[in-house]
A and B are shown apart, each in its own frame.
Chain A
Amino acid sequence: MTENTESGLWQNIRNNALNLGLIAILAAAALAAVYVATKPSIIANQRAAQLAALTQVMPTEYFDEELLKHPITLPAPEQLNLEPATIAYAAMLKGQLNGWVLPVISLDGYSGRIHMLVGIDIHGQVTGVRITSHKETPGLGDKVDYQKSTWVDGFIGSSLSSHRWAVKKDQGDFDQFTGATITPRAVVQAVQSSLIYYKQYQDELLAALNTNVNIASAEDE
């Protein structure tokens, strides 16, 4: 009697395990198939989105080679509050360096980190600024977002010496918004620190780029 129920129990467990296992294998197979089928277009989409973001801060007249072709690892990324091994992209025109797209993070926002991209030409002038992700208050601080207002276009053409790098409330040259000073202040400071960073590290950046180009041309041969 006991033996019977015991073998029944074992049989039950075996059946259930087989059942679950079979479903798991089928689910995994379906997932693998979809993953393989969608992978090329997902990679293409990610690349296109990244490229679109870079082109927004570096107008197309500044380069004639695809921006993603010249990535370099930033020296001293902590200066811009970035993770180690963050990538910057070089704008190349007629084989010559013509500018950089630098990622920057500001820790001084109203809530959370503000991730930005800053385009700088070789003379240290800003070619464009975009906020790539932020958690600032909707309707107030989020005017730094290009989808809400073109405020960030005010940075185009500015350099370290051309402006007083602060919002008007702090006797600077940049507008703040009604009801929000903290967010624009943080963005102004972050753009300024990326310019300072560029001034300080432009030789290292160029050296890193040359090594990359050398490696690339060596691979070509």
Chain B
Amino acid sequence: MQVETRHILHQGLWQSNPALVQLLGLCPLLAVTNSVANALGLAIVTTLVLVASNALVSLTRNKVNKDVRLPTFVMIIAALVTVAELLMQALTYELYQILGIFIPLIVTNCAILGRAEAYACKNSLALSILDGLAMGVGFSLVLVLLGAMREVLGQGTLFTDMHLLFGESARLWELTIIDDYRGFLFAILPPGAFIGMGLLIAMKNVIDQRQAMSQLSLDEPSSKSRRVRVTGIIT
């Protein structure tokens, strides 16, 4: 059990990180990461949907026929995203206005359907929830990191507009990293997102390689994640 838990966390956060390794959900990822607040908003919603969809898929795994499982997953995910959208409109309307068009796009985030098909429909409720959480947090970390990089480079600030997520007191969180910064438009526009993403992937690969070098004697058991790997060493 302990081993399984550690394995799930390692897969989600690092080994098969949905954003850095599987390269799933790139459209919303690249589009909203121009500030930490926007990135965190999408990260929270995506993680919640991922956990809920894994839980529901796991619960229904013995009741749904194998032949119709994919349409069922799609229906579950679409319903969850719509619920999330309605809740956001009711609870955080201003954030909804900013993230608005990207919320329905969570439906098309293949990471969610991918986890339903690859994990949740074969595993117990607890493990599926943990898997959703690990994958969601892995995705979220990349979103927030990329958002922070682009916000600092693009506007010279960090944590602007956090009050949209955490209420009025969060207005004070805004940090001006670079005074009198004239702004670096490139980082805020889409090309900045692609290049930032590329740098993050490269960084992960460098760390992985360093690690592999230092423990050459150990065989890396990567066969389990083989099919989902897009970046790094494809074995």
Q: With A15-B65, A34-B83, A139-B188 in contact, do A27 and B90 touch (Cβ < 8 Å)?
A: no
Q: Is the CB of A42 within 8 A of B90?
A: yes
B221 contacts partner chain A, Cβ-Cβ < 8 Å: no
Q: Is the CB of B79 within 8 A of A19?
A: no
Number of A residues near B (Cβ < 8 Å) is: 24
Q: CA of A137 to CA of B189 in the docked complex: distance in angstroms?
A: 9
Which listed residue, B65, B89, B154, touches A45 by the CB 8 Å rule?
Answer: B89
Q: Is the CB of B67 within 8 A of A16?
A: yes
> Which partner residue on chain A sits nearest B78 by CB separation?
A27
Q: CA of A20 to CA of B72 in the docked complex: distance in angstroms?
A: 6
B177 contacts partner chain A, Cβ-Cβ < 8 Å: no
**Distance between A28 CB and nearest chain B CB, rounded to angstroms:** 8
Q: Is the CB of A45 within 8 A of B90?
A: yes
Q: CA of A68 to CA of B232 in the docked complex: distance in angstroms?
A: 57
Residues of chain B with a CB closer than 8 A to A137's CB = 185
Q: Is the CB of B97 within 8 A of A49?
A: yes
B64 contacts partner chain A, Cβ-Cβ < 8 Å: yes
Residues of chain A with a CB closer than 8 A to B183's CB = 139
B86 contacts partner chain A, Cβ-Cβ < 8 Å: yes
Interface centre among A15, A19, A30, A41, by most B CB within 10 Å? A19
Q: With A16-B67, A45-B93 in contact, do A38 and B86 touch (Cβ < 8 Å)?
A: yes
Q: With A19-B64, A20-B68 in contact, do A31 and B93 touch (Cβ < 8 Å)?
A: no
Residues of chain A with a CB closer than 8 A to B87's CB = 34, 38
A207 contacts partner chain B, Cβ-Cβ < 8 Å: no
Q: Is the CB of B93 within 8 A of A49?
A: yes
Q: Is the CB of B65 within 8 A of A23?
A: no
Residues of chain B with a CB closer than 8 A to A46's CB = 93
Q: CA of A15 to CA of B65 in the docked complex: distance in angstroms?
A: 8
B75 contacts partner chain A, Cβ-Cβ < 8 Å: yes
Interface string of B164-195 (1 = CB under 8 A from A): 00000000000000000001010011000000
Q: CA of A31 to CA of B75 in the docked complex: distance in angstroms?
A: 11
B26 contacts partner chain A, Cβ-Cβ < 8 Å: no
Interface string of B59-85 (1 = CB under 8 A from A): 010011101100110011011001100
**Interface contacts beyond A15-B65, A49-B97, A137-B185: sample of 4 additional A-B pairs, CB < 8 Å, sorted by A:** A23-B76, A30-B79, A138-B185, A139-B183
Residues of chain A having any CB pair with chain B under 8 Å: 12, 15-16, 19-20, 23-24, 27-28, 30-31, 34-35, 38, 41-42, 45-46, 48-49, 137-140
Can you list 27 A-B pairs, Cβ within 8 angstroms, ordered by A?
Answer: A15-B65, A16-B65, A16-B67, A16-B68, A19-B63, A20-B68, A20-B71, A20-B75, A23-B76, A27-B75, A31-B79, A31-B83, A34-B82, A34-B86, A34-B87, A35-B86, A38-B86, A42-B89, A42-B90, A45-B93, A46-B93, A48-B93, A49-B97, A138-B185, A138-B188, A139-B154, A139-B188
